[in-house]
Amino acid sequence: MAEEKDLADMPRVVGVLAALLERVTERNDAAAAVAEELELAVVGAPAAAAFRATTKPDITVRAYMARIARFAGCSPACYVVAYIYLERLLRRRRRALSVDSYSVHRLLITTVLAAVKFMDDICYNNAYFAKVGGVSLPEMNYLEVDFLFGVGFDLNVSPETFGHYCAVLQSEMLCLELEPPPSPSPAPAARLHCFLSEDDTSSSSTQHQLAA
């Protein structure tokens, strides 16, 4: 797909974040499939309805990220901040929301939109982002409001927190570059490093999965 080829010309953070979210999405899709086979109820699904599509989008996470990077025109720092926002939202909705094939695209376009408005002096409006993200304007507006209430309007990112997440993504980039060819044996479940926010000073080295 053309958008996937465009990743080579985009900031490296875009490709790294796309690869990271793809792995988390695949892991959560697999977990959901197992739960469905065991006929387990999904706890808290209604609370995540705003970000959950009724059908899986045809576009891959990498192609979607490339499309956003190509048309949004935002600074590379916005993708780091979007990653921070995504983790803040998931922490607050730990049992109600996860990153899977039904939610990852809406979560991405919404967190990038919020990051652009907070970080960049000049940015496109919601109508433009709705077209880039493949959603209607009313839906884009609703997703933005739901996200803002979901993170408690906590949009400030300290330099320390920003630096921590840059280091996380840098580490992820090195892992991708050194990643060996896939082996026939199943690989362990993908995990995400996560630094706690500046308010959580008791255990700054804590790591956990992006999605509960």
Domain count along the chain: 1
Instruction: Please tell me the distance from the alpha carbon of residue 82 to that of residue 120, in angstroms, as a whole number.
Output: 13
Residue 5: count of CB within 10 angstroms of its CB: 10
Coil, strand or helix at 87: helix
pLDDT at 104 over 70: yes
Domain ranges, residue 108: 8-178
Residue 94 placed within a domain: yes
Q: What is the pLDDT of residues 170-198, one digit of tens each?
A: 888 887 666 655 444 444 344 343 333 34
Distances 170 to 12, 34, 98, 167 between C-alpha atoms, Å: 10, 32, 24, 5
Residue 116 placed within a domain: yes
CB 71 within 8 A of CB 132: yes
Ranking 5-14, 34-43, 107-116 by mean pLDDT, the lowest is: 34-43
> How much is the pLDDT for 93?
82
> How much is the pLDDT for 146?
94
Residue 111 placed within a domain: yes
pLDDT at 84 over 50: yes
Residue 190 placed within a domain: no
Query: At 21, which CATH number?
Result: 1.10.472.10
Residue 46 or 137, more confident: 137
pTM above 0.85, yes or no: no
Q: What is the pLDDT of residues 50-71, one digit of tens each?
A: 898 888 899 999 999 999 999 9
> How much is the pLDDT for 204?
39
Residue 1 placed within a domain: no
> How much is the pLDDT for 7?
57
Instruction: Please tell me the distance from the alpha carbon of residue 65 to that of residue 9, in angstroms, as a whole number.
Output: 12
Instruction: Please tell me the distance from the alpha carbon of residue 90 to that of residue 35, in angstroms, as a whole number.
Output: 20
Residue 202 placed within a domain: no
Residue 184 placed within a domain: no
Residue 120 or 183, more confident: 120
Residue 25 placed within a domain: yes
Residue 174 or 36, more confident: 174
